[in-house]
A = this chain, B = another copy of it.
C-alpha cells in the first residue's frame, strides 16, 4: 500500500469534501445565510470549529459590508499579510482595492517620534478616507483602538472586520468594538489574525 493512498488531489474534490465537513459544524448553529458563509469560511481557514462560538456580528454587518463592496468600497488593512489573503480579483472587479500603509517611511518616522505602533499611525493617517469603506484589522489591537477613537469622533466605515490578536489589548479592543456605533464582525478574546480577517472579507466578496 502506498502511503499516499486516499489522498485527495483534485481541487474541486478537496473543496467539496472540506465544505461537507464545515457544513456539519455549521448545521446546528442555525445562522442566517450571510453569517453562515463568514463563519464557514473562518472554520475552513482556521481548521478550528471551536472558533465559531467566538464570532460576533453587528446585525447589519453582512448587508452593509456587501453593499459597500459592491459599490466599489476599498479595504484598508493594518498589515500587508491580510491584504495578501484577500481575493483581490473579485474586489477589483467591483472597483475596490486593498490599502495598507504600515510600511510607509512617513508612518515609521511618525511612529518613532510619537512612540506608538506603526499600525496605529497608519490607521490614523487614513482618517476620513475610511468613511463608507471597509476596514479589516487582523493583527494590531492599537490599530483597532485608534479606529475606535475616530469612530467615537464621528467616522463611519461601512464595516469593521476587527480581528486583532494577542494578549495585550486584543480582547479589550474587541469588547469596545461591540459597543461602537458601526457595523462590525469580530472574534472575541485573544485569538484573531490575518487569515481570519481575510476569510471574512473573502466570504463577503463571494456572497453574491
- Report the minimal beta-carbon distance from A119 to chain B, rounded to whole angstroms: 9
A194 touching B194 by the CB < 8 A rule? Answer: yes
Kindly list chain B residues whose C-beta atoms are within 8 Å of the C-beta of A193: 45-47, 193, 195
B195:A17 contact, CB within 8 angstroms = no
Interface presence of A38 (CB below 8 A): no
A168 within 8 A of B: yes
CB A10 to nearest CB in B, in angstroms, measures 5
Cα of A168 to Cα of B47 in the assembled complex, Å = 10
| A145 adjacent to chain B (CB < 8 Å) | yes
B172 near A120 with CB under 8 A, answer: no
Copies in the complex: 2
Which range holds the interface residue count of chain A? 35 or more
Q: Which of A1-9, A66-74, A125-133 contacts B (4 or more CB under 8 A)?
A: A1-9
CB within 8 Å for A14 and B117 given contacts A47-B165, A145-B7, A165-B45:
yes
CB-nearest residue of chain B to A86: B81
Point out the residues of chain B lying under 8 angstroms from A21, CB to CB. Answer: 167-168
CB-contact partner of A18 in B17, B22, B168, B191, under 8 A: B168
Q: Are B166 and A11 in contact (CB under 8 A)?
A: no
Quote the shortest CB–CB distance from A66 to chain B (angstroms): 23
Across the interface, name the chain B residue whose C-beta is closest to A13. Answer: B168
Among residues of B, the one whose C-beta sits closest to the C-beta of A176 is B3
Min CB distance, A187 to chain B, in Å?
9
